[in-house]
Each structure stands twice: as C-alpha cells, then as structure tokens.
Amino acid sequence: MSRPNLHVALIHHPVVSKNGEIIASAVTNLDLHDIARTAKTYGVCSFYVVTPLEDQAELVGKIVAHWVTGLGGDYNPSRREALLLIRHKASYAEVLDDIRQQENAEPITVATSAKAKPPLLSFEKLKGLLDKGTPTVLALGTAWGLAETFMDASDHVLEPVTGGTDYNHLPVRSAAAIILDRVLGNR
C-alpha cells in the first residue's frame, strides 16, 4: 500500500463550549500523544495542532521539544517518531497553505462531528478519495466540537462514528483512532 495522502488537523478554535459558545479550547497533552501515535500507526503525513493562542502554542512547542529533541525522546524513541508528525499552526488557513505548498495541489477539506447533519461524506467515499491519492485534510474538533461555520466552510462533513447505541460522546482521541482505522486500516 502506498502512503495515504492524509493530513490530520486538531482544531482548538473555532470550537463550541458546553453552552454552545464559540471558544478557543486549551491544548490537552494526551490529545497530542494519542493522536500522533495513531496517525503514525496509519501512515498519516502530518498532524497539525491548530490554536491561535500564543501560550497554548508555546505549550505545544514544549511538549514536542521534550519528546523530539529532549530527554523524553531518549527514554522512548518510538514516542519521538510519533511526535515528529506534529506541526503547530495558528489557523486552519495556515494548515491549508502548508499542505498546498507540500503537495502542489488544493487539499480536500473534511470536517468531523458527532452530530453532523446531511449531506455527509461516507467512510467508503473518503476511502475512495484516499485510494486515488487526493491530498485530504481531516479536521477534528476539541471541546464540544467544531463550530458550525467551520463545518460549512469545509468541502465535506464526514458521517459520524456510531456504535449501535444512542450514546455519542466519544473522546476526540478515540474518534480519531476509529476514523483512521475505518479509512486506512487493513481489514
């Protein structure tokens, strides 16, 4: 299998709070580790951590530095390998610019949501895009999910992950793992 042309972006703004307000959420250390390790497992090209907040961007830098060039990487080299995928960007526009420059092509943008309304992109269709080698970026929302304006501005919204119950409160770390497995896993 050739490497999928898939990029993952973890969005901290614009996302919604528990009360439905647009916020910039805090960066969670374990989101970075877990999603980087899963992305590395599935051969994802890059893992963008998107936050406009300078102190949060600094935190991302410190975490990555500890594991890539610092003591963490000596202790656990496989963690270094995973965290090398992380790139901080202040906005989604900067993510798209970065991909354009790398790929020399316009990426297809796919938003995710636990409560997405049709029209939705099926996992099968997303798999099809990736099989064709189309540069694609998958945006994951933190807090209570991506803002509606963000989803409206995306080319597609992916169908939600469901598990046969009416409980739909997966952690973003777990949703990321399931989505990558569904579209890139060998099964």
**Which chain residues interact with a copy of itself by CB under 8 A?**
1, 18, 30, 33-34, 37-38, 40-43, 76, 78-79, 81-82, 123, 161-165, 167-171, 173-178, 180-182, 184-187
CA–CA separation, 132 and 117 (whole Å): 26
Output the smallest distance, CB 169 to a copy of itself, in A.
Answer: 5
Output the smallest distance, CB 149 to a copy of itself, in A.
Answer: 25
Decide whether 20 or 185 has the Cβ nearer to a copy of itself.
185
Whether 36 contacts 179, CB under 8 Å: no
Decide whether 94 or 123 has the Cβ nearer to a copy of itself.
123
Output the smallest distance, CB 123 to a copy of itself, in A.
Answer: 7
Decide whether 96 or 177 has the Cβ nearer to a copy of itself.
177
User: What's the Cα-to-Cα distance from 102 to each of 6, 46, 173, rounded to whole Å?
Assistant: 12, 11, 26
CA–CA separation, 53 and 154 (whole Å): 22
- Side chain identity at residue 143, one-letter code: A
Decide whether 132 or 187 has the Cβ nearer to a copy of itself.
187
Compute the half-sphere exposure of residue 43: CA atoms within 13 Å on the CB side of its CA: 10
CA–CA separation, 177 and 19 (whole Å): 27
Output the smallest distance, CB 97 to a copy of itself, in A.
Answer: 27
